[in-house]
């Protein structure tokens, strides 16, 4: 597809190229064939179909819908219209009523946590979601956990104390209570040394996961060691994960990845000002590359790339948010934005589809950022660029920000990486940073394949 579109662009038929590109944009998750748009679904020759609900394709596997417990009231509909700043019209009210007339169910707890949440985010708390603390019911079952992944490098400098993220899953039948409830803390050991445990900021229910930064003290003597991960209870009990990880301790360590050394930018006044800095950086990269078509991952209802003078596909896993975004941007007269509900871990696009891919304050929300980046590399064209904007950096151990705790309590994934962890992620997928900027603790990086 990319060769034909590029040829049409070169001979001055960009509009024709864009129409053909749109028609062949979405691919089947099962077989990667082109999906054809029908009246109420995108369909594949292999027999797989994906529903179109409220004008937005739902390109997710194993999604089920059910009627909402109650329709939106007129007052609630007015609240939604006011929140999005659109004109109050009868047709708009009908579309909004249809969007919130159904809810979505998934087998994946991460997808489940991110859906059916828009009304609560708009402070319309008609069905307030229970927090994990309210759902936790301690009993007499077994405590156990496993390691999903860790970000400790394969070699460490002797005597150095560093910190690294570790992701664990509760594989027991009992909730792992947060430390404030006389619960658990996460610790790392190397050569028998421990540099301090990180308290669980929220309770981890059975089957759920959490990522935490943990301090690690490297032994003084060079050699090969085993890294162990443990949970330490307030009463002194200790659970040790069965996984062991080889770590070399050396007098000096040569990095295989390029160190991120961002320039220091202005101190943003707030979240919106920080995003405006990121938007300007992406706009400059779009203009330099003469990019025509881009992808924004986790765009929510306010895609940052909608005003860059190019065609953008905006994706998120929250179906209702994408449906409302489609309403809002249609009412505002945008014709250059496409909305779809899909998972960044399984992008429904062919290889080399986009001139650029961007995310704004989103990569750290994914449980496996490296797998997301691999998908990004797959769908961006050779010579294209990747913009990772507004990523929080730094490790918080004992008292994470209250907003982080609130998000975690509602089952949404939240984690914060260090500059070195980001650098190693980019290196792992073959992305090289061409520019990097840090505004307070907000990282913004332009990368190329």
Q: Give the burial class of 396: count Cβ atoms within 10 A of its Cβ; 0-12 exposed, 13-18 middle, 19 or more buried.
A: middle
Does residue 385 contact residue 448 with C-beta atoms inside 8 Å?
Answer: yes
Establish if 329 belongs to a structural domain: no
Say whether both 230 and 367 belong to one domain: no
Q: Give the burial class of 349: count Cβ atoms within 10 A of its Cβ; 0-12 exposed, 13-18 middle, 19 or more buried.
A: buried
Say whether both 30 and 174 belong to one domain: no
Say whether both 281 and 211 belong to one domain: no
Q: Per the structure, how many domains does the chain have?
A: 3
Per-residue pLDDT tens digits for 340-388: 999 999 999 999 999 999 999 999 999 999 999 999 999 999 999 999 9
CATH of the domain at 194: 2.60.40.10
User: Other C-beta atoms within 10 Å of 4: how many?
Assistant: 12
Mean pLDDT by runs of 10 across the 449 residues of the chain is 55 62 92 95 96 95 88 94 95 96 85 83 72 79 96 95 96 91 91 87 94 94 95 94 95 90 90 95 96 95 94 96 96 95 96 97 96 98 96 85 83 91 97 96 96
Q: Both tokens of residue 347?
A: 């992008």
Say whether both 183 and 237 belong to one domain: yes
pLDDT of 291 reads 94
Establish if 86 belongs to a structural domain: no
- Which runs of E-coded beta strand occur in 18-89? 36-37, 41-43, 49-53, 56-59, 64-67
Task: Among 47, 66, 83, give the residue marking a domain's end.
Answer: 47
Establish if 231 belongs to a structural domain: yes
Establish if 8 belongs to a structural domain: yes
Say whether both 280 and 397 belong to one domain: yes
414-435 b/e (C-beta count within 10 Å ≥ 16 → b): bbbbbbbbbbbbbeebebebee
Say whether both 214 and 274 belong to one domain: no
Say whether both 411 and 356 belong to one domain: yes
Task: Among 210, 227, 250, give the residue marking a domain's end.
Answer: 250
Say whether both 195 and 290 belong to one domain: no
pLDDT of 336 reads 93
Establish if 274 belongs to a structural domain: yes
Q: Both tokens of residue 101?
A: 């007339």
Establish if 123 belongs to a structural domain: no
pLDDT of 127 reads 59
| Whole-angstrom distance, CA of residue 178 vs CA of residue 199 | 7
User: Which of 146, 133, 203 is CA-nearest to residue 172?
Assistant: 146
Say whether both 280 and 388 belong to one domain: yes
Greatest extent of the chain over all pairs of C-alpha atoms, in Å: 74
**β-pairing, 145-150 with 161-170?**
antiparallel
| Whole-angstrom distance, CA of residue 416 vs CA of residue 229 | 19
User: Which of 73, 74, 56, 75 is CA-nearest to residue 65?
Assistant: 56
Establish if 122 belongs to a structural domain: no
How far from 121 is each of 129, 277, 300, 426, CA to CA, in Å?
A: 11, 25, 12, 32
Q: Both tokens of residue 1?
A: 């597809």
Query: Long-range contacts: 20-29, Cβ < 8 Å, 24+?
Result: 21/293, 21/311, 22/311, 22/338, 25/313, 25/338, 25/349, 25/353, 26/50, 26/57, 26/59, 26/340, 26/348, 26/349, 27/348, 27/349, 27/350, 28/348, 29/59, 29/61, 29/346, 29/348
CATH of the domain at 281: 3.40.50.150
Establish if 120 belongs to a structural domain: no
In terms of residue numbers, what domain contains 209?
A: 145-250
Say whether both 271 and 385 belong to one domain: yes
Task: Among 219, 250, 281, give the residue marking a domain's end.
Answer: 250
Say whether both 374 and 275 belong to one domain: yes
Place of tokens 């860059």: 308
Say whether both 287 and 412 belong to one domain: yes
């Amino acid at each position: 597809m990319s060769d034909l579109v590029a040829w049409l662009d070169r001979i001055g038929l960009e509009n024709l190229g864009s129409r053909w590109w749109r028609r062949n944009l979405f691919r089947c998750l099962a077989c990667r064939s082109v999906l054809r748009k029908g009246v109420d679904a995108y369909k594949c020759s292999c027999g797989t179909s994906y529903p179109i609900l409220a004008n937005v394709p739902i390109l997710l596997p194993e999604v089920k819908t059910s009627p909402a417990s109650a329709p939106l009231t007129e007052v609630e509909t007015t609240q939604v219209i006011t929140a999005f700043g659109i004109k109050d019209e009868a047709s708009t009210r009908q579309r909004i009523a249809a969007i919130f007339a159904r809810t979505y169910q998934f087998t994946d707890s991460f997808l489940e946590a991110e859906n059916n949440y828009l009304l609560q985010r708009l402070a319309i708390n008609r069905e307030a979601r229970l927090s994990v603390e309210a759902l936790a019911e301690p009993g007499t079952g077994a405590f156990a956990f496993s390691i999903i992944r860790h970000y400790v490098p394969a070699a460490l400098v002797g005597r150095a104390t560093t910190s690294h993220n570790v992701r664990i899953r509760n594989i027991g039948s009992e909730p792992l209570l947060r430390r404030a409830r006389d619960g658990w803390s996460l610790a790392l050991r190397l050569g028998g040394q421990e540099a301090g445990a990180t308290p669980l900021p929220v309770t981890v229910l059975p089957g759920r996961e959490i990522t935490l930064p943990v301090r690690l003290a490297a032994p003084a003597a060079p050699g090969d060691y085993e890294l162990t991960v443990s949970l330490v209870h307030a009463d002194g009990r200790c659970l040790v994960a069965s996984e062991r990880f080889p770590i070399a301790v050396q007098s000096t360590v040569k990095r295989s990845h390029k160190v991120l050394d961002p320039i220091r930018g202005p101190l943003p006044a707030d979240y919106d000002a920080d995003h405006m800095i990121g938007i300007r950086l992406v706009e400059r990269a779009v203009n330099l590359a003469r990019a025509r078509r881009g992808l924004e991952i986790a765009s929510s209802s306010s895609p940052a790339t909608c005003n860059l003078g190019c065609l953008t596909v905006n994706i998120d896993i929250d179906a209702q948010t994408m449906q409302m975004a489609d309403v809002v941007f249609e009412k505002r007269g945008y014709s250059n934005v496409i909305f779809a509900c899909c998972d960044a871990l399984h992008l429904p696009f062919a290889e080399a589809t986009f001139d650029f891919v961007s995310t704004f304050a989103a990569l750290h929300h994914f449980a496996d950022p490296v797998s997301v980046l691999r998908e990004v590399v797959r769908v961006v064209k050779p010579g294209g660029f990747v913009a990772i904007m507004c990523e929080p950096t730094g490790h918080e151990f004992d008292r994470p920000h209250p907003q982080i705790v609130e998000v975690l309590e509602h089952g949404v994934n939240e984690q914060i990486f260090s500059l070195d962890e980001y650098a190693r992620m980019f290196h792992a997928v073959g992305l090289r940073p061409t520019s990097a900027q840090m505004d307070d603790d907000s990282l913004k990086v332009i990368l190329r394949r």
